[in-house]
């Protein structure tokens, strides 16, 4: 299984040009991916740099016809021209999807800080390694208060999902919305977390979990041990800081660690202000 996570900045490159075709082409060249997780996908935001005043979700369905598209809007609002606008995360997968959900993340007030609502978009895919919950998210940039609350909420979501495996709901084959669901402790949490490996939030995501729940770990550490994470942000754009950093991660549950075959960052592309990260999973090592 191959998964790419990428903050595509509404498909706007370092040249301030919005071009969805080149982003998708680059992802395809990077890997024959089974799952593509994107952050900062826009619908009808013409004021964004480069003009994202069209439906990027609909366009992705055209560009990826062999993939099922799951979109989770963190923001849904009325635009200046009276058009419905959305901004959020997206999962495209050619693997069968058992179920999908989107979870709004905490948004506590933080006086004077620029911020917007955030969300975690999930899809349970049926892979050769069994069912895997894929979660993609984009945490708050400006407010650490909100970002920490969101990091804790992500761990709670994982704990909740794993709890349904340990203590399953009542068996139900009615065919109604109460019917049996595919529950799994296998999980991949990825996205733009807007924290670095030295920040407390990075540790919170990987904190020890209760018995019966599989702890999340940075797949980069699983693959590369103590080697510092390759930077994923501010390589070519210094508007948000002068030094390149890693803030885009892929965390895997403990029961997937032995399947990690590769974690790589494409440090060359300039079609977004973030760099894509590729996770490769295979048979047990």
- pLDDT tens digits along 90-131: 999 999 999 999 999 999 999 999 999 999 999 999 999 999
Question: What share of the chain in percent tops pLDDT 90?
Answer: 91
CA 202, 122, 18: angle at the middle one, nearest 5? Answer: 85
Maximum Cα interatomic distance, the chain, rounded to a whole number of Å: 58
Which is more confidently placed, 199 or 212?
199
What pTM was computed for the model? 0.97
Tokens 């021209």 sit on residue: 81
Say yes or no to pLDDT of 211 above 70: no
Instruction: Please check the confidence at residue 243 and state whether its pLDDT lies above 90.
Output: yes
- The pLDDT of residue 210 is above 80: no
- Is residue 284 pLDDT above 90, yes or no? no
pLDDT at 241: 87
Q: What is the pLDDT of residues 2-22, one digit of tens each?
A: 999 999 999 999 999 999 999
What torsion, rounded to 10 degrees, do the Cα atoms 230, 41, 279, 189 define?
100
Which token pair is 82? 């009276």
CATH number of the domain at 267, please: 3.60.10.10
Q: Where is mean pLDDT largest: 63-72, 205-214, 230-239?
A: 63-72
CA–chain centroid gap for 94, Å, is 17
Q: Which of 38-47, 49-58, 209-218, 250-259 is the least confident region? A: 209-218
212: pLDDT strictly greater than 80: no
Whether 285 has a pLDDT exceeding 80, the answer reads: no
The confidence band for 273, taking pLDDT boundaries of 50, 70 and 90, is: very high
Domain count of the fold of the chain: 1
Strand arrangement, sheet containing 119-127: 97-104, 119-127, 130-138, 187-192, 248-253, 216-218
Residue 116 belongs to what domain range?
2-281
Q: Which pLDDT does position 49 carry in this prediction? A: 97
């Amino acid at each position: 299984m191959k998964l790419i996570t990428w903050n595509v900045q509404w498909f706007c490159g370092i040249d301030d040009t919005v071009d969805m075709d080149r982003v998708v082409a680059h992802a395809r060249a990077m890997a024959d991916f089974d799952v593509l997780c994107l952050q900062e996908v826009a619908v009808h935001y013409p004021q964004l740099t480069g003009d994202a005043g069209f439906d990027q979700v609909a366009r992705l369905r055209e560009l990826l016809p062999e993939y099922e598209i799951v979109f989770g809007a963190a923001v849904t609002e009325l635009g200046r021209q009276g058009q419905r606008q959305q901004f959020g995360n997206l999962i495209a997968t050619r693997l069968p999807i058992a179920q999908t959900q989107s979870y709004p993340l905490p948004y506590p007030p933080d006086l004077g800080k620029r911020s917007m609502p955030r969300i975690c978009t999930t899809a349970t895919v049926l892979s050769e390694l069994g069912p895997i919950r894929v979660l993609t998210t984009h945490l708050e940039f400006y407010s650490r208060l909100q970002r920490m609350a969101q990091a804790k909420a992500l761990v709670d979501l994982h704990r909740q999902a794993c709890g349904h495996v340990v203590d399953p709901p009542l068996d139900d084959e009615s065919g109604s919305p109460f019917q049996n669901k595919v529950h799994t402790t296998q999980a991949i949490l990825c996205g733009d977390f807007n924290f670095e490996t030295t920040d407390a939030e990075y540790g919170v995501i990987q904190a020890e979990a209760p018995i019966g729940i599989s702890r999340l770990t940075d797949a980069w550490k699983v693959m590369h041990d103590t080697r510092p994470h390759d930077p994923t942000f501010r390589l070519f754009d210094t508007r948000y800081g002068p030094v390149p950093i890693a803030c885009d991660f892929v965390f895997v549950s403990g029961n997937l660690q032995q399947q990690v075959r590769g974690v790589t960052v494409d440090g060359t592309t300039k079609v977004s202000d973030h760099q894509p990260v590729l996770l490769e999973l295979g048979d047990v090592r």
